[in-house]
Structure 1
Amino acid sequence: MTLDPVLGSLVKQLPEPATEIEDPERYRMEKRQLFDQLSARFMETGPPVAEVRLIRLPVADGEIALRVYRPAGPGPRPIHLYLHGGAWISGSVFERSTDVCCRERAAGAGQVVVAVNYRKAPENRFPTGLEDCYAALVWAAEHAADIGGRADSISVGGVSAGANLAAAMSAKARDEGGPRIRLQILEVPATDLAGDFESHRLFGEGFALSSTTMSLAKSAYVASFEQRSHPLVSPLRATDFSGLPRTHVMTAEYDILRDEGLAYAERLSEAGVEVSHTLGRGHVHMSMMLTAVLPAARQWRAEVLDVLSR
């Protein structure tokens, strides 16, 4: 399928990717301003929910924010832990796009959604962000009744770097006897920070997420090249895929991460994990957010809500 003309035009308007980060906070502020502007233009408004609650969760050497979205109607409801993207460097639960996604999942799938504002690289390298997400998972399970949720029905979902963290967290929960995760939804996931795939060469420039940005993200997230092969950094590099939760992987046709997402789904299937995979024809990285202008983005959202509801 050819690249959607709307996406082709939008990609050309994106600023050149940064090659270094001199001031991480300024970098995040500029990214947030850009994505808030884009989401206001191209993303539908999030539906109303019964309550949005801000939680401050103490974690090792700090504190993180959680935003809890409770749908209307009686509970208890399944719990969905949502991990936003941003190349491990930027992104926030306070961005408009994250808020809309969480509202859609709460209202559209009848879930109590817990969005995690994990700490970012390069100030907080691996495994800090992962440990923050895991702490949020444990908190959600232990406080399920307080937020109108069910501790016996927890799913996780993530986009891009958030999908990487979701997959790593599922493996960590399995290995450490943590809360049981019934489902993981991985959208345009980064699964192998040490690998080389055809999609890296095909779509490394000019398709929203560039090889320049990925190189910057990898250097920020992990302390050494050798660490990129760690199975909790690169879930595709794990040696044991058994016992992982049911998984739905969604990749984009014109995305640098396309092939590693598919490879992860294939490894799960080989290990006997219940897995499904969808290739978003005509999509680029993150174009599933453009629900106000792109019918394919609305179809992508409908698929997420359908999988989450089942």
Structure 2
Amino acid sequence: MPLDPFAESLLLSLEPLPEQIDFPAFRAKEAAQAAALAQQLAQPGPPIKERREVTIPVDGGTVDLVIHRPIADTRLPAHLYLHGGGWIGGSAKNPFIDILGQERAAGAGCVVIAVDYRKAPEHKYPTELNDCYAALLWTAEHAEEIGIRPDLITVGGGSAGANLAAALTLKVRDEGGPRIAFQLLEVPCVDLTGSLPSHRSNGTGYGLTTADITRLLDYYLPSPEEINAPYVSPLLAPDLSGLPPAHIMSAEYDPLRDDGEAYAQRLNDAGVPATFTLGRGHIHISPPFTKTMASARAWRDEAVAVLRQAHRSHSS
């Protein structure tokens, strides 16, 4: 379908990635813009019982987790959420992530744990992935404290966070970590070599560009040779068997569009149940804009429904 009219108008106001980045200033500006945009473009999240932050130790430092608990007194499923931001930005404390946490906690009946992993280029791969793995371990080990079922932990993420979520499932499988019951990947980048057709057909003109992705990888990866590593480009992993079932959602007008469909196909080929949907009319950044786009509300409702169904299927 055609590009959504609101997404089309949004493209006129998007700023390109700066040629030279002062990373602390970049992140501060990004946080301020997110606060303003969330109020203008996103419906408020539903009421929940509690939002709290905890700081956990990780190798070489600490990271913060933001925990959203719905209005329920029983032990609940947990959803570990990994935010986007090109590995250099974004935050678990971003108001869009707060809204997402409220929506999924209330709508899917789970405790949402958003991970504020450390960022590149100060912290390059595999720091981000290791931080997320540490957050998963902490979640499983503190199940009683945070009121969750350690046997029903799902993982989700958007964009770079979806890349980390997919990599996390591989790392958990390979290292025998806490069982992940389900993965929900939104606008994922899973082949960082940029070899799929949409990296060319949608590489310019839709906000996120193929050139931007290349620059972000320079910040994220310690060396170009890492780009083919399974935990960097999960689509290129030689073996995807034994991973949790997945639902993958891609945007139609996104350089990363083909990543999601290709990953769903490879999972299915490996015997892993995986479903895929294409967000028609969307660009990479438009799914959270629920106040202004009916298709964004549909996207949100689909994600919540998929998580809710995953919880039911593991509870029967």
Shorter-chain TM-score range: over 0.9
Q: How far off its partner does 1:47 sit? A: 1.4
Q: Does 1:181 align with 2:216?
A: no
Quote the Cα distance in structure 2 between the aligned partners of 1:206 and 1:242: 36
SS at the partner of 2:192? coil
Which letter maps to 1:174?
R
1:235 match: 234
2:7 match: 7
TM-score, length-normalised on structure 1?
0.98
TM-score, length-normalised on structure 2?
0.96
1:308 match: 307
SS at the partner of 1:289? coil
Quote the Cα distance in structure 1 between the aligned partners of 2:242 and 2:102: 30
SS at the partner of 1:301? helix
1:44 match: 43
1:208 match: 207
Quote the Cα distance in structure 2 between the aligned partners of 1:273 and 1:159: 20
Per-residue CA deviation, residues 66-86 of structure 1 (Å, 9 max, x unaligned), is 011111022100000000000
Quote the Cα distance in structure 2 between the aligned partners of 1:45 and 1:4: 22
Q: How far off its partner does 1:266 sit? A: 0.9
Identical positions, percent: 50
1:24 match: 23
Matches within 5 A, 1:96-115: 96-115=95-114
Paired residues of 1:17 and 1:210 also in contact (CA < 8 A):
no
Quote the Cα distance in structure 2 between the aligned partners of 1:32 and 1:204: 26
2:34 match: 35
1:245 match: 244
Q: Which moved more, 1:281-290 or 1:161-170?
A: 281-290
How much is the aligned-residue C-alpha RMSD, in angstroms?
0.9
Unpaired segments ≥5 residues, structure 2: 310-316
Matches within 5 A, 1:61-140: 61-140=60-139
Quote the Cα distance in structure 2 between the aligned partners of 1:97 and 1:61: 28
Quote the Cα distance in structure 1 between the aligned partners of 2:207 and 2:31: 16
SS at the partner of 2:12? helix
Quote the Cα distance in structure 2 between the aligned partners of 1:27 and 1:59: 25
SS at the partner of 1:13? coil
Q: How far off its partner does 1:16 sit? A: 2.3
Per-residue CA deviation, residues 113-134 of structure 1 (Å, 9 max, x unaligned), is 1010000000000000000000
Quote the Cα distance in structure 1 between the aligned partners of 2:220 and 2:17: 17
Quote the Cα distance in structure 1 between the aligned partners of 2:175 and 2:25: 37
Q: Does 1:293 align with 2:292?
A: yes
Q: Does 1:194 align with 2:197?
A: no
Q: How far off its partner does 1:166 sit? A: 0.2
Q: How far off its partner does 1:212 sit? A: 2.9
SS at the partner of 1:107? helix
Q: How far off its partner does 1:202 sit? A: 1.6
Quote the Cα distance in structure 2 between the aligned partners of 1:194 and 1:237: 9
Q: How far off its partner does 1:31 sit? A: 1.7
Which letter maps to 1:146?
E
Structure 1 runs (4+) greater than 6 angstroms displaced: none
Q: How far off its partner does 1:255 sit? A: 0.5
Which letter maps to 2:66?
R
Per-residue CA deviation, residues 188-217 of structure 1 (Å, 9 max, x unaligned), is 001011232211112222212122321221
Quote the Cα distance in structure 1 between the aligned partners of 2:9 and 2:173: 43
Quote the Cα distance in structure 2 between the aligned partners of 1:91 and 1:228: 22
Paired residues of 1:58 and 1:64 also in contact (CA < 8 A):
yes
Q: Does 1:254 align with 2:247?
A: no
Count of aligned pairs: 309
Quote the Cα distance in structure 1 between the aligned partners of 2:250 and 2:158: 10
Q: Which moved more, 1:25-34 or 1:248-257?
A: 25-34
Quote the Cα distance in structure 2 between the aligned partners of 1:286 and 1:145: 36
Paired residues of 1:20 and 1:216 also in contact (CA < 8 A):
no
1:160 match: 159
